[in-house]
Amino acid sequence: MMDKFKNAFREEADELLVQLEGLLLELETNPADVDVLNATFRAVHTIKGSAGMFGFERISRFVHDFESLLDECRVGRLQADSSVVGLFLRARDIVKEMLAEDDDSAPFSAEGLEIIGAFKQLVDKHRAAAPVQTGSAPAPGANESAVSAAGSSAPGGSPVPVGAALIGGSAPNQPPRPVSHGNATQESYRLMLKPAAGIFFTGTRVFKLLAELASLGELQAFPRLREIPDLEDINPEFCYVAWDLILVTAQGLNAIKDVFIFVEGSVELKIEKIANPDEGTPGETKKLGEILVERGLVQLTDLGDALKSQRRLGDVLIQNRLVSQAELDAALAEQAHVRKSQEKTSENSASIRVASEKLDLLVDLVGEMVTLQARLAQTSSEVADAGLSAISEQLERLVSQLRDNAMSIRMLPIGSTFNKFKRVVRDLSAELGKDVDLLTEGAETELDKTVIERLNDPLVHIIRNALDHGLERPEVRQAAGKAVRGSLTLRAEQSGAHVIISVSDDGNGLDVDAIQAKALERGLIGPGENLTEEEAFMLVFRPGFSTAKNVSSVSGRGVGMDVVKREIDSLGGAVSIVSRRGQGSTIFLKIPLTLAIIEGLLVRISQEYYVLPLAPVEACVELDSQAAGSNEGRLMQYRGDLLPYVDLREFFSVPGEAPLVRQVVVVNSQNERIGLVVDTVIGDHQTVIKPLGRMLRGVEGLSGATILGNGTVALIIDHGRIALKVRTGALRGRL
């Protein structure tokens, strides 16, 4: 029984460690973010408590020192800079290693002891050096934003009452306005506050207005300093600062307006409600440009011009003096606020933990039901009984719904995989001396969990290659007029029965001449052979191919990109590259949504049945055997073009005499058409994919098998592998 609880702890701890890694990387970017710091502390505290409860004493002792140093950051004695976050990340990795070990009584590793010593040294140093900085990082549950935004409150910590921003207490002495908690509906507001230059002459203290706003809920404030004149022109009695504010409160719009009721003539105030996550499209976050346009800071025409640049939007707008850094920070904070609200909304949705083995079993059982339903449909058509046919049709609808539901349960957002690469990019860019931002889009796009698991290695190779070969060092980028900080973007979007994943960088781009020279040197192309740009790009996926002049610890041995091609091909997907010299490269991966149950096209050759995946099928046309016999090149006319085709009877060595009129199934593989000749096209078929046995596993052109309604086994054709052999000339002698 205890082993069962320990396994449950390991599962929960693994999830917490994944979450912790993301929080630490975010903390490195925003060390002053109190919410992130508190969430990090909670994750570590949970691991420590659960480890002690379930007998993982070694982990509990190690994490205790981890927690102590995090507490120093929370109370403001230590700042979570890159070196501290780096230490935290190393500690997180040690915890993950200890979690995988069976022997909890083993001593700490040398690296673990080194980290414990570093933790204790930092804790002792900062506790002795300075007292706690009150208000820099309140404990969870305190009004954190009020302290950070306004910097002060009324005596005794009570919220400032309405009108207390006036000197002399001319406003009525009202009781403090309570801050709403519990189940009250929280709303988010964007405020633009610009006091009149002479507001101080009315006796108003502006910071008190901000303090009172902070008492309503959670407040973030970003000062606009653009209108502050040179020192010799400053009038110390004038106010030159305006503020962009984000307020989350349950008090409502009227309560916000009440704060400014006594200064209406002395301030310019604009209040707008920020849409809640459930009011918009799930998973969508406003773009930075949209927020800047809504705020009236940027015109649409200027935004369009800025977006044409290959650099980050914020850098372009600041360089063109269209926005200030403070205005940009305020817009980014609003974007981050909406994104965080969406994450909280998704976290609150009800869910249960289910072992992946149970999901696999469920899909297997559904697959058996699909096969059984196909047998029932065939039997009902043979018996020709109206009642049995009605039952068969109703069962077919229910099985179809059950299949879709079971497949949707196995679907996971690809964002969990994307998040893993933040650490890869951080560590590798530091090793290479490069400054890189990792951006992600479409993280909510869903894929079958088995597909996601197999995507990890290809994406790692692509990202490592982009960081090493694609993105330049900061001094090189600066000399080329680019932003010093490079960007690497991971995108995912659904396209029919496939998901398109792209990895883009704004680096050097591919050098076609260098690729062709290396291909010539290795004998991959002949002298004088001219390749198209697309053909040249695809050479980088050849085994052992590399244009790197020096072998590094990251790449340069020609190992990696061929793994990408091989793995994506085995998934039934496709790879392509788009690149512009000096501007960057994008690698596209086209991946099927699922590998368990697919829509297929059932065909027959002699007495044998085969299934083709339906998604790449474009058309089915007739092929006259006499015309085919007189065509030495195995080419046919198709929609005004010459179409190469492969006779599957010959390819699979199927015995028997071919009929006079046969069918050609036209499929599209990596944007190239190829015809596959069969005897008869039967029609659509829901295909439950089964792995091939050992005897057939090495047969070229097959990817699996399925069971038909009559119990016959049909083989699933790997059209991508056959098309590849045609493209590379491996079938030229047989055509």
Nearest one of 472, 469, 493, 491 to 481, comparing CA atoms: 472
pLDDT at 43: 86
Contact 448, 594 (CB under 8 A): yes
CA 90 to each of CA 20, 420, 456: distance values in angstroms, whole numbers, following the listed order: 12, 15, 22
Residues 687 and 612 in one domain: yes
CATH number, domain containing residue 480: 3.30.565.10
d(Cα 458, Cα 564) in Å, to the nearest integer?
Answer: 4
Residue 365: inside a domain: yes
Residues 607 and 495 in one domain: no
DSSP letter for each residue of 223-292: EE-TT---GGG--TTS---EEEEEEEESS-HHHHHHHTTT-GGGEEEEEEEEPPGGGS-TT----HHHHH
Segments forming the whole domain that contains residue 395: 356-409
d(Cα 726, Cα 729) in Å, to the nearest integer?
Answer: 5
377-416, pLDDT tens digit by residue? 888 888 888 889 899 899 988 988 888 888 788 888 888 7
DSSP classification of residue 171? S
Nearest one of 419, 378, 337, 364 to 597, comparing CA atoms: 364
Place of tokens 């063109």: 320
Residues 419 and 404 in one domain: no
Residues 257 and 366 in one domain: no
Q: Which two tokens stand for residue 631?
A: 């065509």
Contact 645, 636 (CB under 8 A): yes
pLDDT at 665: 93
473-488, pLDDT tens digit by residue? 889 888 888 888 889 9
Residue 261's contacts (CB-CB under 8 Å, 6 or more residues apart) are 162, 163
Residues 623 and 662 in one domain: yes
pLDDT at 728: 64
pLDDT at 164: 36
Residues 334 and 360 in one domain: no
DSSP letter for each residue of 185-201: PPEEEEEEEEE-TTGGG
Residues 102 and 40 in one domain: yes
Question: What average pLDDT does the chain have?
Answer: 77
Residue 137: inside a domain: no
Other residues' Cβ atoms within 10 Å of the Cβ of residue 446: 17
Phi and psi of 628, rounded to 5°? Answer: -65, -35
Strand 217-224, strand 242-249: pairing: antiparallel
pLDDT at 620: 92
d(Cα 457, Cα 570) in Å, to the nearest integer?
Answer: 13
Residues 368 and 328 in one domain: no
**pTM of the full structure:** 0.58
pLDDT at 342: 54
DSSP letter for each residue of 561-576: HHHHHHHHHHTT-EEE
Residue 398: inside a domain: yes
435-454, pLDDT tens digit by residue? 888 888 888 888 888 888 88
Number of domains, the chain: 5
Nearest one of 208, 225, 217 to 263, comparing CA atoms: 208
Nearest one of 532, 443, 466 to 727, comparing CA atoms: 532
d(Cα 237, Cα 727) in Å, to the nearest integer?
Answer: 78
CATH number, domain containing residue 33: 1.20.120.160
d(Cα 349, Cα 191) in Å, to the nearest integer?
Answer: 30
Residues of the chain under the 50 pLDDT cut: 132-183, 277-284, 345-349, 556-559, 629-631, 732-735
